[in-house]
Amino acid sequence: MDKCPTCGKELTEEMICIKMCFQCGSKLEDNSNKLSKNEINMLKEIEKEKEQIEIARKEKELKEKIKQHLLTTGFNFEGYKISEYKGIVSGQVVLGTGFFSEFSAAVNDIFGTESNAMANKVQTAKKAAMNKLIESSIKQGGNAIIGVDFDFVTLINNMIGVFANGTSVFIEKSI
């Protein structure tokens, strides 16, 4: 027989049933379902691990989808037919303060023969904008983008924006 943890009175089934000691009036906690602190922490750890595995799985899935996403500056794909238009998508990357002056100074180099750090910076920004473009296409349910186009826009505070635009579509291999 269980005893009241407050007053030590033996508990009747009735007391257990309504979870209250009739002797002292204290509430009885149901210990049968209660987890120890360690058990709770362990469960939390497991939950965290599960979440991290899930995040990693989703990232992998997204990377795979990005890799498989087809892109064209044109409006069709050889050997595929467009079965659905998902809408216009865009991806933006802003290059920080001070970029534009650097950019102006390096502009000749960019369009010249020499590849340099500045060109790499632009290339990296284009790639990042492109990834955002693809991510937004994936969100729309597309598996390809047609009419891919880049815009460079000068913003306030000496910043420059790299915009990638296109139309998200769903394509299927044509028979």
Considering the complex, state which of residue 19 and residue 57 has its C-beta at the smaller distance from Zn ion: 19
Considering the complex, state which of residue 3 and residue 63 has its C-beta at the smaller distance from Zn ion: 3
Q: Is 6 in the site for Zn ion (CB under 5 A)?
A: yes
Find the binder of Zn ion among 21, 93, 133, 171 (CB under 5 A).
21
Q: How far apart are CA 99 and CA 93, in angstroms?
A: 13
Contact by Cβ (8 Å): 28, 11: yes
Q: Is 18 in the site for Zn ion (CB under 5 A)?
A: no
Q: Is 165 in the site for Zn ion (CB under 5 A)?
A: no
Nearest-approach distance from CB 16 to Zn ion, in angstroms:
12
Contacts by 51-59 with C-beta closer than 8 Å and gap 24+? none
- The residue type found at 10 is E
Q: Is 7 in the site for Zn ion (CB under 5 A)?
A: yes
Find the binder of Zn ion among 15, 23, 71, 159 (CB under 5 A).
23
Q: Is 12 in the site for Zn ion (CB under 5 A)?
A: no
Q: Is 24 in the site for Zn ion (CB under 5 A)?
A: yes
How many residues of this chain interact with Zn ion, rule: CB under 5 A? Answer: 7
> In the complex, which residues of this chain contact Zn ion (CB under 5 A)?
4, 6-7, 9, 21, 23-24
